Amino acid sequence: MAHAQPPIPVTARSRGPLAGRVRVPGDKSISHRSLIFGLLAIGETRISGLLEGEDVMRTADAARALGAIVHHDSPGSWRVRGVGVGGLREPGGVLDFGNAGTGSRLMMGVCGAHPITTVFDGDASLRKRPMRRILDPLELMGTTIVSQEEGGRVPLTLRGPKEAVPITYRTPVASAQIKSAVLLAGLAAPGETTVIETEATRDHTETMLRHFGADVAVSPDGAHGRRIVLKGQPELQAAPIVVPTDPSSAAFPLVAALIVPGSDILIESVMANPLRSGLLTTLREMGADISVESEANEGGEAVATLRVRAGVLKGVTVPPERAPSMIDEYPVLAVAASFATGTTRMRGLQELRVKESDRLAAVEAGLKAAGVTCAIEGDDLVVEGRDGAVDGGGLVATHLDHRIAMSFLVMGLATRQPMTVDDGAMIATSFPSFIALMNGLGGDIA
Ligand SMILES: O=C(O)C1=C[C@@H](OP(=O)(O)O)[C@@H](O)[C@H](O)C1
Ligand SMILES: C=C(OP(=O)(O)O)C(=O)O
C-alpha cells in the first residue's frame, strides 16, 4: 500500500534562539469534515484554508470516488459539488485512506449508512488500528460487514442497508471519530440518532452539521459529557467554509519556543476552541510564558495570536479528563516535560496506544534515546524533567507516525546533541510545511 518508499531520516540541531512570526496550516479535523460535508450537501461548497496534507487529500479522493466533483482552485481554496445525503455513488475501486484514522473512520460512517458497497484500506499503520469501534454502531444501524481483517481492521468491506436504522449510542471511549461516524451515518437514517459521550470531545462535526442546515441539539450529560441528538435525512445545503489553523500543528513551534533558550515568537490565529486547548492549559500550569496578543473569529471559531517566550517550566500532573482536549499533543508535551524542573505525570493515556503508532511506547523509547528518565505506569506516562539540560543524540523510531517525528525534531532544537528521526516522510500527512516553517524561525532541521 501507500508509503512503502525508503525512509528519509531527518536531523534537528540546536542553533540558538527562535524568533519570528508564523501561521500554521489549516486544521486537519475541520479539513476532512469540510470535504465530507461538501460531498453530502446539495450545491457547491467553497472551502478556503484547507489543509493540503496527505491525509486530507485521501478524503478528497474518496469524496470524488463517491460522486462529488472536487476542484482545487489555488492553495487552500477548493470547491466541492456534492451529491446530497442518500445520493452517494458506489466507488469503482478501493478507498485508500493512507495513514488517516479520521478520514477512514468518518467515511465508514458515511458509506456504511448508504445502500452501496465500499472497500476501505490504508497503509501499514492504518491496517493496525482498531475499527471495531466504528463497525459496532454501524452494525446496529444495519450495515453488513462483508469482510474485515482480524479484530475489525482494514482492508474491510461494508455494505449499507436500504435505509439505516437510527440509534442511541454511548461511545465506549472518548472519541470524536466514533461520535462523528455515528452522526454522519445518522444523516441517512430516518428519525433521531443520539450520541452520548461521557467526556466531551472536539465538536467540529456538530458545528458543521448546523452550518449545513441539519437540526442538531447538544446538551450536557453528566459532569463532563454531552448528548447530541440529530434529526435524520435532512437536505444539507452547501455552505462556505473557512478552515481555521490547526492547534495540533501550532503545538510544535509553541513547544519549540518554550524550550530553546532565548526564543520569542508569535504564532498567528491559533484556533482557541476549548475542546482543543488542553495543551495550552497544561503549559500555562507549567509556568510557560504564553500571552495573547490579539483575538478574532475565523470561520466561526475563536482564534488567538500567541506570543511565546522561552523560560523555566515546572513539572505538573495532567488529569485524565483533560485527555480529549489535547489527545494528539501528548508526545510534544512529553518533550516539554523533559526540559522542565521536576516530574510530569500525564494520566489516563490509554487511547495513545491506538493512534498512528503506540504513542506511549514510541514516546518512552524516544525520550530514553535522548537520555531522559521516563516510565509508563498503567495508563500514565511519567517524565523526569532535566531542568533545561537534555543530552539528546539518539535515533528515534517513528513507526509511520507524524507526531512522533515532529515532536522529536522539536526536541533536537534544544538538546546538547542533535536528534535524528528515522523517517520524516509522514510529516506530510498533517503538516507538509513543518520543516520550512521551523527553519524560518531559526531552527536547523534537515
Ligand atoms: O475527530 C477527529 O478529527 C480526531 C479525533 C481524535 O481521534 P479519536 O476520536 O480516536 O480520539 C484525534 O486523535 C484525531 O487526530 C482527530
Ligand atoms: C491521531 C491522529 O490522526 P488520525 O487518527 O486521523 O490518523 C493525529 O493526527 O495525531
78 and 156 together in one domain: yes
Q: At residue 303, does pLDDT exceed 80? A: yes
Q: Is 355 in the pocket of ligand 2 (CB under 6 A)?
A: yes
Q: At residue 164, does pLDDT exceed 50? A: yes
Q: At residue 2, does pLDDT exceed 50? A: no
**Cis bond leading into 155, ω under 30°?**
yes
**Domain assignment present for 317:** yes
Q: Return the active site residues.
A: 328
Residue nearest ligand 2's atom 10 by CA: 328
**Domain assignment present for 405:** yes
**Domain assignment present for 271:** yes
> Is 403 annotated in some ligand binding site?
yes
271-287 burial, b if ≥16 CB within 10 A, otherwise e? Answer: bbbebbbbbbebbeebe
- Measured in Å, residue 425 CA sits from the centre of ligand 1 at 21
> Is 159 annotated in some ligand binding site?
no
Residue nearest ligand 2's atom 7 by CA: 101
Confidence tier at 394 by pLDDT (50, 70, 90): confident
Residue nearest ligand 1's atom 11 by CA: 175
Q: Exposed, middle or buried by CB within 10 Å (0-12, 13-18, 19+), for 130?
A: middle
The number of domains in the chain is 2
> Is 417 annotated in some ligand binding site?
no
217 and 307 together in one domain: no
- Measured in Å, residue 177 CA sits from the centre of ligand 1 at 5
Q: Which atom of ligand 1 is nearest to the CA of 177?
A: 9
Average pLDDT, rounded, for the chain:
98
C-alpha cell at position 285? 500550569
Q: Which atom of ligand 2 is nearest to the CA of 102?
A: 6
> Is 359 annotated in some ligand binding site?
yes
Domain boundary among 209, 231, 253: 231
**Domain assignment present for 73:** yes
387 and 406 together in one domain: yes
Residue 25: predicted pLDDT:
98
Q: Is 129 in the pocket of ligand 2 (CB under 6 A)?
A: no
Domain at 158, CATH number: 3.65.10.10
134 and 255 together in one domain: no
15 and 81 together in one domain: no
220 and 270 together in one domain: no
258 and 220 together in one domain: no
**Domain assignment present for 5:** no
Q: Is 122 in the pocket of ligand 2 (CB under 6 A)?
A: no
- Measured in Å, residue 327 CA sits from the centre of ligand 1 at 8
Share of the chain above pLDDT 70, in %: 99
**Alpha-carbon dihedral of residues 66, 72, 73, 79, nearest 10 degrees?**
30
291 and 252 together in one domain: yes
Q: Is residue 192 helix, strand or coil?
A: strand
Residues with CB under 6 Å of ligand 1 are: 29, 102, 175-177, 180, 202, 327-328, 351
Q: Is 356 in the pocket of ligand 2 (CB under 6 A)?
A: yes
Residue nearest ligand 1's atom 15 by CA: 328
Residue 241: predicted pLDDT:
98
- Measured in Å, residue 155 CA sits from the centre of ligand 2 at 18
Q: Is residue 386 helix, strand or coil?
A: coil
What is the phi/psi pair of residue 233, to 5°?
A: 50, 45
Domain boundary among 177, 201, 231: 231
Which of 175, 328, 404 is the pocket-test mutation for ligand 2 (most atoms within 8 Å of CB)? Answer: 328
266 and 207 together in one domain: no
Residue 5: predicted pLDDT:
81
Residue 4: predicted pLDDT:
61
Cβ proximity of 401 and 357 under 8 Å = yes
The closest of 124, 178, 129 to 426, measured between CA atoms, is 124
> Is 79 annotated in some ligand binding site?
no
* Signed CA dihedral, 129, 248, 411, 281: sign only: negative
329 and 372 together in one domain: yes
Domain boundary among 196, 231, 266: 231
- Measured in Å, residue 416 CA sits from the centre of ligand 2 at 30
- Measured in Å, residue 183 CA sits from the centre of ligand 1 at 15
**Domain assignment present for 238:** no
Q: Is residue 139 helix, strand or coil?
A: helix
Q: Is 207 in the pocket of ligand 2 (CB under 6 A)?
A: no
181 and 287 together in one domain: no
**Domain assignment present for 240:** no
The closest of 96, 97, 66 to 81, measured between CA atoms, is 66
pLDDT in tens, 209-247: 999 999 999 999 999 999 999 999 999 999 999 999 999
Q: Show the DSSP H helices in 342-428 as ranges.
A: 359-369, 402-412
pLDDT in tens, 34-81: 999 999 999 999 999 999 999 999 999 999 999 999 999 999 999 999
**Domain assignment present for 369:** yes
User: What range does the domain containing 153 cover?
Assistant: 28-231
Per-residue pLDDT averaged across 301-312, rounded? 98
428 and 313 together in one domain: yes
